[in-house]
Amino acid sequence: MPETIFSKILSGEIPCHKVYEDARVLAFLDINPLAFGHTLVIPKEPAPTMDALSEESAAALGAVLPRLCRAVMEVSGCRHYNLLQNNGAPAHQAVFHVHFHIIPKPSSDEGLGIGWPAGSLEDGAALAERLRNALGA
């Protein structure tokens, strides 16, 4: 995988404000926070998007995310937050190394703003079956 800003952070080539580290995961402050306490959580495995990540790294991220969310809540004083994970440039991914954003939501005007152009589900049974087939379930 090509180098990214996050692989350079992992190698120590560029600095970060570290919040948490274990054998598979690193968390650090976002350099351009959407809100006070905005934290990034990344696997050490160099996967560009979530679909390319190993189950071991995904499990390690999932195991620590609730703790990190609680710490961000405590320090930011926010009861509400968004957990965001972008995949692909059209989906607003700028750094092609998997990462979760923990973004405090101090008020409806602050933090992450989301467009949510909801439709209505057509033929959910067939779609769910296609997805089950894709999963090999």
Residues recognised as catalytic: 99
Q: Which of residues 45-84 bind ligand AMP (CB under 6 A)?
A: none
Residue 31 as a binder of ligand AMP (CB under 6 A): the answer is yes
In the complex, minimum distance from the CB of residue 122 to ligand AMP, in angstroms, rounded to a whole number: 30
Which CB, 64 or 93, lies closer to ligand AMP? 93
3-state secondary structure the chain: CCCCHHHHHHHCCCCCCEEEECCCEEEEECCCCCCCCCEEEEECCCCCCHHHCCHHHHHHHHHHHHHHHHHHHHHHCCCCEEEECCCCHHHCCCCCCCCEEEEECCCCCCCCCCCCCCCCCCCHHHHHHHHHHHHCC
Interface residues for ligand AMP in 90-129 (CB under 6 A)? Answer: 92-95
Pick from 20, 30, 73, 83 the residue near ligand AMP by CB under 6 A.
30
Among 4, 49, 82, 86, binds ligand AMP (CB under 6 A): 86
Candidates 29-37, 44-52, 53-61, 74-82: pick the segment binding ligand AMP (CB under 6 A): 29-37
